[in-house]
Structure 1
Amino acid sequence: MQSDHIRSIFLNFFGERDHLAMPEGPLVSDDETLLFTNAGMVQFKPYFVGEQQPPRPRLMTTQRCVRTVDVDNIGHTTRHGTSFEMLGSFSFRDYYKIESMAWALELLTGGFGMDRERLWVTVLRGDEETVTLWRKLGVAPQRIQRLGPEDNFWSMGVADGPSGPTTEIFYDRGERYGRDGGPEVNSERFLEVWNLVFLGDHLVDTGMGCDRMAMVLQDVPHLQAIDVVAPLLAEVRRLTGRDDEPVAHRIITDHLRTGLLMIEHGVTPANGGRGYVLRRLLRRAIYQLHRLGTGGCSLGRLTGHPVIEREELVFERTLRSGSKLLHRELSRGRLEAGTVFKLHDTHGFPVDLTQEIAAEAGVPIDRAGFDALMSEQRERSRLRSERPARG
């Protein structure tokens, strides 16, 4: 089932249940406490906290999101991506738990044709009300797992933002993806496809990852193999001319996809804020290409995008100037704080990338010492800016 079809089935299902389709919110969030929209409900925060009234009690959206909290997992797991499409349904003081849970089962097994016996759910430990409701809906007790707040409590991640307990629905992709035991044991085999958040007072926020649903329904091994990403992955493989580096190919593909999305929404590479997130992703992709022996503004040629070409030109100079120092120090078995700072300050190596390269080589870095040096530099800059001008 293609991604467009997955989206249409979702929106038709909730449209038939009186949900109003809302326009996609901005990727660059209006909320100043967020760098990017990281969930479908972000644009509805004023409704959830009671600052504004929604146009209807039931809403639905499709929303492109960016999350980089799991960036180190990209390519190493099958399920992580730095950008994705979230399909969402929302209730504002209308229906609550039983309706949202029943509709989730109906859509998954009916609309998407999933085997009910391969669905598992998790609930927040202590939330026996939700356990009872799942059992009333026919979910077998052995496929309901109680987990802690690190797994089953959701927060928007901003001050005064909505938060609440969740119940999540997982699909068993089969033994080729690892051992049995449910999502508590194996989150690669048991893939989360839908998250239902109960915010109290009949406030419901649900999010279904369209990309993850495509993984399941297209029966592909990882996110970069779904229909909307696979052509880019094929271009990256063609660019490198290699078939022996699947993790690197997936990192490059993921970061390039997200980078293009950010640029489309007006973000440009910079040393801070949103621009730094973009720069970090592009430079991680460029480094992987460099490691595979592919350079010369390859991503710029592939995309035809001047922003990416400029970033490649700058960072390839950085790689040439800083790599000798980096690899000489790596050969000594440790990266001291001063070296890490010099790589960052003189050669333009983002500290996160230095840390990743060092980790690949099994070499520790003095991150605390680097942070202290950065604080000292910022303090010197502050004092200089506050010094009265002469004359």
Structure 2
Amino acid sequence: MNPMQRNALECQAISEAFLSLHEQDGFTRLPPSSLLHDSVPMSFVMSAGLIQVENDLDKIVAETGGKFAFTQPCFRHFDMKQVGEDPTRLSLFHMSAAFHIGCSKRETVLPRLWRFLTETLGLEKDRLWVTYLDDEEFGRDEASYQCWKTLGVEEGRLVGLDQNHCFWRQRSLGQIASDGKKCGPHTEVFYERPEVSCPSCESVERAIGSCRCGRFVEISNSLFIENYIADDGSLIPADTVFAECVVGLERSAMILQGVSTVYQTSRFREWHQHIGKLLHPPLSIEQKNSLNIAFDHLSAFVKLTNDGAPAPGKGGRKYIMRRLVRDAMNQVQQCGLDTTFLLEVLLKDHHPTALERLQEECVRFNRYVQPINDNARCVNHDGK
């Protein structure tokens, strides 16, 4: 792939490439689930298939033979506080996922993934790092380690991490958990951006394992679920094993488009152009972070509304929708912008229902909540 083709790739194109590659290998393409899945009545779908797939597993396996792939929007309310600080994290994001029920062999997953990353997307091999399980209690995932070496990954770029980083435990109780809490090792692929300087990253292991500076960006994760955890904590072989491979679309797009944060990808480009007419550069770091949070929350609000989420209110999903709006409004006001005017500029042409609900909540917010900046609502529309 030449640089011009690579830089033009957006999330939809990356998703299509992932799904097409798996279809060529015998996977059935499935539609995504609504973010308002019945299995999470108080919240929204948070992962690529782990809950919604489990509850319809028999039907899906019968229709697909156990090999299927799809792209799923995900929303994690518990990530909202990390948005803005972490240049790679969004509360609403998309993952392309491929499942193989009944098989957990590494050679059925990792070669295809490596081909997708290095050939289809054209990522430089000398910027890719791979983690695998190497844990005192659970031992070393030798199968993943050897498979990556066979694919040509240099030993120095294979990073062994403990169970806190490379061992997955099931927390939901769907159909696939009928014989216990499934678990197993997973292996991740990270893309290094050496242009990001961070004094806290004293080593690759530390940077990959804990630092959120954005130098090492996790773009893919492959799970091999082969056991379940008994009541005494021991591992017992599972009756139904499976493999899952996921790729983060916004993070991949960020890398391919050559921008420094997920908030600068094409998904938010039009909104940034509108903001550029209201705020005069250069923007402060605080203003940039505030806009990142506001854009993330407004984008999530629009998607959730379009999927059928309730209007902001009290309890459950309504409360999450209220948090999205009010946190976004706080950030907008900290930038010295008029909230009502900004919402009209960003949303009036494409999202009338979301805009109406946002405006109603904005009225309640300004009426009953003490604003952070008493003068923020009185600024002119040009941001002065």
TM-score class, shorter: 0.7 to 0.9
Q: Deviations over 1:84-105 (max 9, x none)?
A: 1111111011463222011111
Within-5 A mapping of 1:176-191: 176-178=196-198, 179=201, 181-182=203-204, 184-185=206-207, 186-187=211-212, 188-191=214-217
The equivalent residue for 2:270 is 231
TM-score by length of 2: 0.77
CA separation in 2, counterparts of 1:61 and 1:230?
26
Q: How high is the sequence identity, in percent, across the aligned residues?
A: 24
For the pair shown, which has the larger CA radius of gyration, 1 or 2? Answer: 1
Alignment CA distance shift 1:70-1:34 (3 Å): same
More displaced stretch, 221-230 vs 50-59: 50-59
**What amino acid maps onto 2:102 in structure 1?**
R
- In the TM superposition, what is the alpha-carbon distance from 1:167 to its structure 2 partner? 0.7
- Does structure 2 conserve the Cα–Cα contact (< 8 Å) formed by 1:96 and 1:202? no
Q: Number of aligned pairs? A: 323
Alignment CA distance shift 1:193-1:322 (3 Å): closer
Within-5 A mapping of 1:1-391: 1-3=8-10, 4-32=12-40, 35-41=43-49, 42-46=51-55, 53-56=61-64, 57-94=66-103, 96-125=105-134, 126-129=139-142, 130-155=144-169, 157-159=171-173, 162-178=182-198, 179=201, 181-182=203-204, 184-185=206-207, 186-187=211-212, 188-200=214-226, 201-240=240-279, 243-244=283-284, 245-267=287-309, 268-295=311-338, 297-302=340-345, 303-304=347-348, 305-320=355-370
Stretches of structure 2 that go unaligned for 5 or more consecutive residues are: 1-7, 227-239, 349-354, 375-384
The alignment partner of 2:221 has SS state of: strand
CA separation in 1, counterparts of 2:27 and 2:361?
43
- In the TM superposition, what is the alpha-carbon distance from 1:237 to its structure 2 partner? 4.7
Instruction: Name the structure where strand makes up a greater proportion of residues.
Output: 2
More displaced stretch, 313-322 vs 13-22: 313-322
CA separation in 1, counterparts of 2:37 and 2:300?
16
- In the TM superposition, what is the alpha-carbon distance from 1:236 to its structure 2 partner? 4.0
**CA RMSD for the aligned pairs?**
2.4
The alignment partner of 1:175 has SS state of: coil
- In the TM superposition, what is the alpha-carbon distance from 1:146 to its structure 2 partner? 1.8
Alignment CA distance shift 1:19-1:25 (3 Å): same
The alignment partner of 1:91 has SS state of: strand
The alignment partner of 1:121 has SS state of: strand
- In the TM superposition, what is the alpha-carbon distance from 1:313 to its structure 2 partner? 0.8
- In the TM superposition, what is the alpha-carbon distance from 1:295 to its structure 2 partner? 3.0
More displaced stretch, 57-66 vs 292-301: 292-301
- Does structure 2 conserve the Cα–Cα contact (< 8 Å) formed by 1:87 and 1:208? yes
**What amino acid maps onto 2:223 in structure 1?**
V
Alignment CA distance shift 1:238-1:153 (3 Å): farther
TM-score by length of 1: 0.76
Structure number with higher relative contact order (C-alpha < 8 Å, ≥ 6 residues apart): 2
CA separation in 1, counterparts of 2:328 and 2:54?
33
